[in-house]
Amino acid sequence: MLVLVAPGQGAQTPGFLTPWLDLPGAADRIAAWSDAIGLDLAHYGTQADADAIRDTAVAQPLLVAAGLLSAAALGDITPGAVAGHSVGEITAAAYAGVLTDDEALGLVRTRGLAMADAAAVTETGMAALLGGDPEVTVPHLEKLGLTPANVNGAGQIVAAGTLEQLAALAEDKPEGVRKVVALKVAGAFHTEHMAPAVTRLQEAAAGLTVADPRLTYVSNRDGKTVTTGADVISRLVGQVANPVRWDLCMETFQELGVTALIEVCPGGTLTGLAKRALKGVQTLAVKTPDDLDAARALVAEHS
């Protein structure tokens, strides 16, 4: 059974969209999406530097556009389940037919702008903790005033909070944690700091035309499968200010009988977690069009 997953913010790197624009029709699709949302995706995906694409209002639409473009390049496939990490849930929702691609890009543009505005209120950020026991790590983070914003499984938790709180964490790591790594994001996402963005997303979501998912859709709020479009959208909106439970998503993949996992562009983060947590499951990260043939072969073997 094949699972298709989409990465979240922080997966972007300068120039990562460049090779994809050589695919037939890709440049036209990116241009149309750019016009629709008022953001030059081609420029940011090919020419902008790391600081420019770290901007939440830029990174989020760029990631969804790249994810949809690369998923479409795989051809007409039917994975056993789809899921996304953080903003990748919008990619997954579009792939599952809950939203059209155009609606997904419009929604993620609103999401990125709203979260950027919320992040501007207080200087905040996120950091990944490598290693450690969640039963020890989570209380330690809470003691420092931090939120376990991403519980990713495979020995990784991402903490979020103010820069002062993150600095205190760097000086006082939980027992068993090997390393604290600052993430390429511009705010404390999936925490109470993002509450103002939820209201704006609710307003934007009210104008969407939503369909029920045509594929098994796994929500990163709690790892549950979601069967109605209305529930998918409700979770997408609320998830902005609540922790991502990717560990529970991977548990659900196992319960569904996953044998292979493909991560759409810019792949790497989620396949890395799967290699450690989903033993025996074949994984493939789609980074450039050169990876498409191997991905299609994996699809043929596991669909």
Say yes or no: 228 and 251 in one domain: yes
Contacts for 76 with CB less than 8 Å, ≥ 6 apart: none
Q: What is the CATH number of the domain that holds 141?
A: 3.30.70.250
Say yes or no: 151 and 230 in one domain: no
Query: Which pLDDT does position 185 carry in this prediction?
Result: 78
Among the candidates 167, 183, 199, a domain finishes at: 183
Q: Which residues are catalytic?
A: 86, 190
Percentage of the chain with pLDDT > 70?
Answer: 100
- Give the C-alpha separation, 217 to 204, whole Å: 22
Query: Which pLDDT does position 303 carry in this prediction?
Result: 79
Query: Which pLDDT does position 15 carry in this prediction?
Result: 98
Say yes or no: 111 and 136 in one domain: no
Residue ranges of the chain with per-residue pLDDT less than 70: none
Say yes or no: 90 and 142 in one domain: no
Among the candidates 140, 162, 183, a domain finishes at: 183
Say yes or no: 102 and 21 in one domain: yes
- Could you report the per-residue pLDDT of 146-190, keeping only the tens digit for each? 999 999 987 889 999 999 999 999 999 999 999 999 887 778 999
Nearest to 80 by CA among 150, 2, 17, 193: 2
Surface-to-core class of residue 134, CB atoms within 10 Å of its CB (0-12 exposed, 13-18 middle, 19+ buried): middle
Say yes or no: 80 and 199 in one domain: yes
Query: Which pLDDT does position 154 carry in this prediction?
Result: 79
What predicted TM-score, i.e. pTM, was given to this entire model?
A: 0.94
Say yes or no: 94 and 220 in one domain: yes
Query: Which pLDDT does position 203 carry in this prediction?
Result: 95
Q: Is 128 helix (H, G, I), strand (E, B) or coil?
A: strand
Domain count, the chain: 2
Q: What is the CATH number of the domain that holds 90?
A: 3.40.366.10
Say yes or no: 100 and 196 in one domain: yes
Say yes or no: 104 and 43 in one domain: yes
Instruction: Find the largest Cα–Cα distance for the chain.
Output: 53
Say yes or no: 32 and 171 in one domain: no
Among the candidates 138, 165, 183, a domain finishes at: 183
Say yes or no: 176 and 195 in one domain: no
Per the structure, the complete domain to which residue 144 belongs is given by 123-183
Query: Which pLDDT does position 214 carry in this prediction?
Result: 97
Query: Which pLDDT does position 10 carry in this prediction?
Result: 87
Query: Which pLDDT does position 186 carry in this prediction?
Result: 78
Say yes or no: 41 and 159 in one domain: no
